Structure 1
Amino acid sequence: MKPVATRCEPSKFRIVLDVGHTAESEGAISARNVSEFVFNLRLAKQIEQKLKAEGFAETRLLLTEGKARRSLFKRVATANDLRADLLLSIHHDSVPNKFLEDWEFEGKKSRFSDRFSGYSVFVSRENPDFKTSLMFAELIGKEMKAQGLEYARQYSQPIMGRHQRPLLNRETGVYRYDELIVLRKTRMAAALLEAGSIINRDEELMMSSPERRDIISSGVAAAVKEFCEPRWGMLGPL
């Protein structure tokens, strides 16, 4: 392991929680016309609270402004400047446009797809510490599964076309997505969590609930603790 993966005293270990998308580029729009950015921010704040309660006092919430692509490079630069030990990018899932159907919610036209659901975790082989990134992603997937959640299986299927990704673990729902800027350009181990589908009408309701956010944030906190504690136990204070 690289030295960054061994500096794991919780009070000093710096985790950056990247809130996916921006207020200007909101990401996907849910089945009930709520932006993905709103979902991402709510969940990231709850994860931040959980991690700080577990002693990870250096946890940082990363909020970025601006349009889509420009904001990607900006968030990478900020994470690198923060000298983070670990980055987790928080997102909520949608589907390719060809799977969307029309419906009306509270008098407004919207689009949905109830065909797919579930969380997924992504890593990039281009990350400078891919092995550590993969290990962290596996821990997140394992904890999501332990919480009774199912992962999104569609990314491994040919019907996804250019959105198809290699599935690295059939048990935990970890996929490889090499092109993601926020994963491959950061200098620390990094993973991206799609917490669930907000275009699926039933799952959107679950993702809107404090109970589901609590389940996911608890899972992430448990994954970070497991990622950290073996190193802390073996190495002791630096």
Structure 2
Amino acid sequence: MSKSWRAIAAIAVLLIPSLFSSADQSQAAGPRKAAKPKPRLSLPEKCEPRKLRIVVDVGHTADSYGALSARNDPEFGFNFRLASLIAAKLKSEGFAATRLLVTDGKARPSLFKRVSVANESRADLFLSIHHDSVPDKLLETWEFDGAKSYFSDRFSGHSLFVSQQNPHFVTSLMLARMIGRQLKEQGLRYASQYTLPVMGRHRRQLLDKDVGVYRYDGLVVLSRTRSAAVLLEAGSIINRDEEMEMNSPERQEAVAGAVAGALREFCERR
């Protein structure tokens, strides 16, 4: 484990008690045991940035850290850095009610706690930040720092996911498209592999072929939040070149700027 990862994990542990709680987004939702409460309206008719309650979720946890990058760094560290930057960027642009959601614990149990906290905070928008990998069958091996490591340079790019089971699916899709357009304007391209048969059970329906928005109904944080919800895979950390880009301040600033631009557009249109 790298020194930078240890530092991030330590910061996350300090933040956890004062923020929220947990989850590994890659787990699918289980059978529902009770009917969902009647959702409230996602947003007021007039959008005031300072009052818009945005939850920026750090995907995964220190205990359930998600994918490993091509250089053996846990996804959680990438997610934490980028989500923190996005939250700070939104606050600096007038979205004062933005909150960073850092969670702890194991994967599945913490998912439902995460949704519960987001719902109880009466969020208007929920944005979950992740970094991508590929199915195990597509991985190749190489040696990094004297250790056997895994990579896949075949695919790269970001992707956006929404759930049709979300009570505010139309709003979720609109926000995802806005983020996708802003990323495209930054010169970034989306990951197109989710439409391919080689992805197997990870294959998804492409809802917007121009900006890379996919439908993924099985994600707990998308389907069970009572606010509009979008999951952003900001780039592929299993791709050796893109992993280095995702670690660069320039790429992180570009993604954070795209999200902030999308939120400004979103609010202006309300």
Shorter-chain TM-score tier: over 0.9
Matched, 1:57 2:79: no
Task: Tell me the equivalent position of 1:118.
Answer: 157
> Secondary structure of 2:160's partner?
strand
3-state DSSP class of the match of 1:16?
strand
CA pair 228-101 structure 1, distance change in 2 beyond 3 A: same
* Aligned equivalent of 2:181: 142
Number of the residue aligned with 1:212: 251
What is aligned with 2:58? 19
Equivalence for 1:234: none
Q: How does 1:153-168 map to 2 (within 5 A)?
A: 153-168=192-207
Deviation at 1:111, TM superposition (A): 0.4
User: In the aligned structure 1, how far is the partner of 2:56 from the partner of 2:192?
Assistant: 25
> Match of 1:126, as an amino acid?
Q
- Partner amino acid, structure 2, of 1:53: S
Give the number of equivalent residue pairs.
231
SS at the partner of 1:121? strand
| Match status 1:228 vs 2:267 | yes
Identity %: 65
CA 1:7–1:69 in 2, change beyond 3 Å: closer, same or farther?
A: farther
Shift of 1:4: 2.0
Query: What residue in structure 1 maps to residue 116 of structure 2?
Result: 77
Distance in 2 between residues matched to 1:216 and 1:144, nearest whole Å: 7
Cα contact 1:43–1:213 (8 A) shared by 2: yes
Find the aligned partners of 1:179 and 1:201 in 2 and give their Cα distance: 29
Tell me how far 1:229 sits from its aligned partner: 1.4
Which residue matches 2:231? Answer: 192
Retained in 1: the 8 A contact 2:65–2:75? yes
Match of 1:90 among 129, 132, 137: 129
Deviation at 1:3, TM superposition (A): 5.5
Q: Do 2:42 and 2:124's aligned partners in 1 also have CA atoms closer than 8 Å?
A: no
Output one character per residue of 1:37-88: Cα deviation in whole Å (capped at 9) or x when no partner: 0000000010011101110010000011100111111110111111100000
Where in structure 1 are there 5+ consecutive unaligned residues? 232-238
Asked if the contact 1:143–1:222 (Cα under 8 Å) also holds between the matched residues in 2, the reply is yes
RMSD of the TM alignment (CA)? 1.1
Contact 1:64 1:74 in 2 (8 A): no
